[in-house]
Structure 1
Amino acid sequence: MNATVLIVDDNEDIRFTLLEICKFAEWGVYEASTGKAAVDLFKTLTPDIVLVDYHMPNWDGVKTTKELRILNKTVPIIILTVDERQEVADMFLEAGATDFALKPIKAPDLISRIRINLKIGKLTEDKNDVFVEKGINQNTLLSIKNYLYNQSSPSTIDEIQRKLPIAYQTVHRYLNYLESKGQVEIITQYGKRGRPKNKYQLI
């Protein structure tokens, strides 16, 4: 897939590593060492996806993500961080991030995440509005569709919630929304004991 990636990180060594990974995947690359420089670049270049470091001086990853979202409501934004705390993930989702990659960066994982985000970004409907319906945020919707797209078999809400920085109740609500739009299929599995389990997959 031909694509351009904007790398935003104040660490030159990390930018070099990310550059090499993207070059290996045959993607074009733009670089910025600060959040403000990234936003200025974005205004001119409009990349297909953005990789944003969390901890940066002046504009951190949250500020940078918010400023990018003012310019573009749908471009995939992947956050690079060593912080796995739930509150950090929630903060970035609220700011408009679509995915996360933990440092130290592993090339196969990052390439896979970028490819999936690019594909899902193209599949996402209503790209001109971050809110596809009242109470439904397109960035959160994208994260859930992203996960389902990458699965070879249907997933339960518990499985989805454990992998995404999204609350159980939120996952359930968004899956019901996707099912009402005909984008997700609900598969009920009956075991020998206990209540049947619902699993979900993209149609």
Structure 2
Amino acid sequence: MKILVIDDDTSIQYMLSEICEFVGWNVDTANNGKEGLKVFAEKGADVVLVDYHMPEMDGIKTVGELRNRNANVPILVLTVDERQEIADRFLEAGATDFALKPVKAPDMISRIQLHARLAELTRSASQQTSLEERDVFATKGISKRTLGHISDFLQFNREPFSVDTISKEVGLAYPTVYRYIIHLLNEGKVKTIVSYQKMGRPKNLYEWIVD
């Protein structure tokens, strides 16, 4: 598997390269978005890791340009910013998931493996679908494979969960799961159940609506 790391911090590049090479993956690196797009065009990648804050072209624009070039490649954003508005902008640009800095090797490896598997499943399924169904990314940056992953979890378990619990169980970042839960709510696929705690504010839980 080939990984492309786009980050202006050489120490982060080195650390991510060491993590990926330890697992046996090949790694290409780029110092900014423009360079990353060039490397991607020349060499391709199975998974792309993109930093948020970079000179010349920031992570959001880089993600958008990558997505314009390839509808299927998983794009994981590296950031220290946990604001929902930033997550929304990245998802709208076409990001697949997030990894918060400082990066932890087990988390990064599992995320890459998960999205590589989902991408492979998508490629296999696309061979049996019509051209209209091959558009992996729906409106507002919703990825069909990620949506299916979260939906399958909720349908299989048939009980209410918090976003935090879903995030841990499916191996996706909290902002990613939150965005997809809101999408499923709007689609009428899940419902909100308010859980009143003995202390503190009530907590929203989400449950798949049985057909």
- TM-score tier by shorter-chain length is 0.7 to 0.9
Partner of 1:129: 135
Distance 1:94 1:136 in 2: 5
Q: What's the counterpart of residue 172 of structure 1? A: 185
Shift of 1:136: 7.7
Runs of 4+ that moved beyond 4 A: 135-138, 146-151
Moved more, 18-27 or 161-170: 161-170
Cα separation, 2, equivalents of 1:121 and 1:175: 26
Counting helix residues as a fraction of each chain, which structure ranks higher?
2
Report SS of the residue matched to 1:5.
strand
Distance 1:109 1:175 in 2: 32
Identity %: 41
TM-fit CA distance, 1:172: 3.1
User: Cα 1:73–1:167, aligned 2, differ >3 Å: closer, same or farther?
Assistant: closer
Q: 1:25: how far off?
A: 1.2
Question: What whole-Å deviation, never above 9, does each CA across 1:16-59 have from its counterpart, x for those lacking one?
Answer: 00000001111111110110111011111111010000000110
Instruction: Kindly report the root-mean-square deviation, in angstroms, between the aligned alpha carbons of the 2 structures.
Output: 2.9
- The residue type equivalent to 1:129 in the other structure is D
Map residues 187-198 of structure 1 onto 2, 5 A cutoff.
Answer: 198=207
CA contact (8 A) 2:6 2:32 kept: yes
Q: 1:57-72 counterparts in 2 under 5 A?
A: 57-72=55-70
| 1:152-192 deviation line (CA, Å, top 9, x unaligned) | x726464348932406431335684xxxxxxxxx9xxxxxx
Residue by residue over 1:93-144, the C-alpha shift from the partner in whole angstroms, topping out at 9 and shown as x without a partner, is: 0000000000000000000000000001111244842446xx48552x3333
The TM-score with structure 2 as length reference comes to 0.72
**CA distances 1:43-86 after superposition (whole Å, capped 9, x unpaired):** 11111010000000110100100111111011000000000110
- Larger deviation, residues 10-19 vs 123-132: 123-132
Give, in whole Å, the separation in 2 of the partners of 1:80 and 1:61.
9
Question: Is the contact made by 2:60 and 2:93 (CA closer than 8 Å) also made in structure 1?
Answer: yes
* In 2: Cα distance, 1:120 partner to 1:98 partner: 11
Distance 1:158 1:42 in 2: 37
Gaps of at least 5 residues in structure 2 are 127-132, 168-172, 191-205
Distance 1:167 1:75 in 2: 19
> Residue 78 of structure 1: SS of its match in structure 2?
strand
Task: Give distance in 2, aligned partners of 1:51 and 1:150.
Answer: 25
- Output the TM-score relative to the length of structure 1: 0.75
Number of residue equivalences: 175
Letter paired with 1:60: D
CA–CA distance in 1 between the matches of 2:66 and 2:76?
12
Structure 1: unaligned runs, 5 residues or longer: 177-185, 187-196
SS at match of 1:29: strand
Kindly provide the amino acid, as one letter, of the partner of residue 37 in structure 1.
E
SS in 2 for 1:170: helix
Specify whether residues 84 and 23 from structure 1 end up closer, same or farther in structure 2 by C-alpha distance, changes over 3 A only. Answer: same
Conserved? CA contact 2:92–2:141, under 8 Å: no
In 2, are the aligned partners of 1:34 and 1:57 still within 8 Å (CA)?
A: yes
Q: Where do residues 20-99 of structure 1 align in structure 2 (5 Å cutoff)?
A: 20-99=18-97
Change (3 A) 1:172 1:42: same
